[in-house]
């Protein structure tokens, strides 16, 4: 970025080649950074809270691969665990001890998960949990919330957050109409709309991110998660919490522990794989025994429970004790307060919304309580603020419909650098 106009940087060169070989030059849409009107950063390596791009520029990383890296990049305990596992063989397509240990560790943290099935991605876990919910209830319709993201599952792409919101895609072409019709969409944090929808439709499941983080962070209004539980019970539907982001992050037992609302099925991902591809879905033994080969609901995966991913997940969870969650909360609070102050100094109206381990900076004057509020923010201003941060060595989520992911690797120095860069960036946005 500091190179002269006449020289092509390594990143520019890589992007030029990538555009010919990968759709949009990337393997997942938000990485392209189109929402903030710039070219993607090609990352060469990471260590702790920092990443370096292909041209050697250093950044304080607040994305952490969108959630898995709660310990930071290349944590020695995780790297050692992965190397040790790899030495013994990278995959067997057979049962291993590590899978049993990881399942026990998850069950110890999340009491509603007595039994689980691992997958390689959160998308697969969501897809499979809904198959189970449909099998158990004998119904087809699923209620989701607008602005929530549950992976790129066909039926859940309508009014989805994350990359779809970022690209302004209301629903993806290629989804069968019948599949789309099986999804009922309700605005988040609106009790009357939820009540009306649960009365009108025969629902197999209500699926929710208990703290939505894919339209930016929009915590549940007091009583709203309780209402989900009530309405699911009244309708005879399963309550499915997608804790792919919140699980093992906003607390030891995820959102269900923090808000004391217990779902029937829980979807996990990101942190549970410690930075390698792993996810899972789980619930009571009674429900999970419907999954093959214990039961008749089919679901499988060649690399499910992969030994390297299991080792990384276990090494990560082992370090997530009560003290770790206190530290993560402290980092989140300092970052949120610092960003608020920086914005206030510049006179820029922003709202910072947070739960421990997650936050979003919304360019608006009023709290965001749902997807329409998130869409109404000044996203161009967010984009130019992000470009100004990147130019100052701070790597924010390149879309306001995403969260910042504080980690245990972030230091006081990272916080100071970030807040002073943010103050300069706010001033630049105002004048620009």
Ligand X SMILES: *Cc1c(COP(=O)(O)O)cnc(C)c1O
The stretch near ligand X (CB under 6 A) out of 35-43, 88-96, 120-128, 219-227 is: 120-128
The stretch near ligand X (CB under 6 A) out of 1-9, 77-85, 117-125, 287-295 is: 117-125
Binds ligand X (CB under 6 A): choice among 9, 96, 126, 353: 126
Query: Element (H or E) spanning 145, and its range?
Result: strand 141-145
**Residues from 273 through 302 that contact ligand X (CB under 6 A):** 279
If you write DSSP's letter for every residue of 345-408 in order, what string do you get?
HHT---EEEEETTEEEEESSSS---SHHHHHTS-HHHHHHHHHHHHHTTEE--SSTTS-B---T
Partners of 60 in the beta sheet? 50, 394
- Show the tokens assigned to 24: 């949009």
From the candidates 53, 61, 242, 414, which is the catalytic residue? 242
Least distance to ligand X from the beta carbon of 78, Å? 18
Task: Assess 245 for contact with ligand X (CB under 6 A).
Answer: yes
Binds ligand X (CB under 6 A): choice among 53, 140, 242, 414: 242
Phi, psi (deg, nearest 5) at residue 168: 65, 35
Least distance to ligand X from the beta carbon of 270, Å? 6
Q: Taking a C-beta distance cutoff of 8 angstroms, is the pair 185, 155 a contact?
A: no
**Residues from 10 through 49 that contact ligand X (CB under 6 A):** none
Binds ligand X (CB under 6 A): choice among 98, 151, 396, 397: 151
Binds ligand X (CB under 6 A): choice among 50, 150, 249, 410: 150
Give dist(CA 23, CA 26) in Å, integer: 6
Q: Taking a C-beta distance cutoff of 8 angstroms, is the pair 81, 307 a contact?
A: no
Could you tell me which of 303, 312, 310 has the C-alpha nearest to residue 93?
303
**Residues from 92 through 111 that contact ligand X (CB under 6 A):** none
Task: Assess 220 for contact with ligand X (CB under 6 A).
Answer: no
Is 144 annotated in the active site?
Answer: no
* Cβ-closest position to ligand X: 122
Count of chain residues binding ligand X (CB under 6 A): 14
**Strand order through the sheet with 141-145:** 115-119, 279-283, 265-268, 238-242, 203-208, 141-145, 183-186
Phi, psi (deg, nearest 5) at residue 38: -150, 175
Least distance to ligand X from the beta carbon of 126, Å? 6
Binding interface with ligand X (CB under 6 A): 121-123, 126, 149-151, 209, 214, 242, 244-245, 269, 279
Active site members? 149, 242, 270
């Amino acid at each position: 970025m500091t190179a002269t106009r006449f020289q092509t940087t390594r990143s520019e060169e890589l992007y030029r080649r990538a555009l010919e070989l990968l759709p949009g030059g990337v393997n997942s849409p938000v990485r392209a950074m189109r929402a903030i009107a710039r070219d993607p950063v090609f990352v060469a390596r990471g260590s702790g809270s920092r990443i370096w791009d292909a041209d050697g520029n250093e950044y304080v990383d607040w994305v952490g691969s969108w959630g898995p890296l709660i310990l930071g990049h290349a944590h020695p305990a995780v790297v050692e665990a992965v190397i040790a596992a790899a030495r013994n063989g990278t995959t067997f397509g057979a049962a291993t001890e590590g899978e049993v240990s990881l399942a026990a560790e998850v069950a110890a943290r999340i009491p509603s998960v007595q039994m689980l099935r691992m997958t390689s991605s959160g998308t697969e876990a969501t897809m499979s949990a809904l198959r189970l919910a449909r099998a158990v209830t004998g119904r087809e319709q699923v209620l989701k919330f607008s602005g929530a993201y549950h992976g790129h599952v066909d039926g859940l792409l309508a009014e989805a957050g994350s990359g779809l919101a970022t690209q302004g895609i209301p629903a993806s072409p290629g989804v069968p109409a019948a599949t789309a019709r099986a999804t009922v969409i309700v605005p988040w944090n609106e009790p009357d709309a939820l009540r009306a929808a649960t009365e009108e439709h025969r629902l197999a499941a209500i699926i929710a991110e208990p703290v939505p983080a894919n339209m930016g962070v929009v915590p549940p209004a007091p009583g709203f998660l309780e209402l989900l539980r009530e309405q699911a019970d009244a309708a005879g539907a399963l309550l499915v919490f997608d804790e792919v982001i919140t699980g093992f992050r906003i607390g030891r037992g995820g959102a269900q522990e923090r808000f004391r609302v217990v779902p029937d099925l829980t979807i996990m991902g990101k942190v549970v794989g410690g930075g390698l591809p792993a996810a899972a879905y789980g619930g009571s033994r009674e429900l999970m025994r419907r999954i093959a080969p214990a039961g008749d609901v089919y679901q499988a995966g060649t690399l499910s429970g992969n030994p390297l991913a299991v080792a990384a997940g276990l090494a990560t969870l082992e370090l997530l004790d009560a003290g770790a969650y206190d530290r993560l909360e402290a980092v989140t609070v300092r970052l949120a307060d610092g960003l608020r102050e920086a914005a206030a100094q510049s006179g820029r109206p922003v709202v910072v919304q947070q739960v421990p381990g997650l936050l979003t900076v919304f360019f608006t004057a009023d709290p965001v309580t749902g997807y329409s509020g998130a869409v109404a923010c000044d996203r161009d201003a967010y984009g130019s603020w992000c470009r100004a941060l990147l130019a100052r060595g701070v790597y924010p989520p390149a879309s306001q419909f995403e969260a910042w992911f504080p980690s245990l690797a972030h230091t006081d120095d990272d916080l100071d650098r970030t807040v002073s860069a943010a103050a300069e960036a706010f001033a630049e946005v105002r004048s620009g």
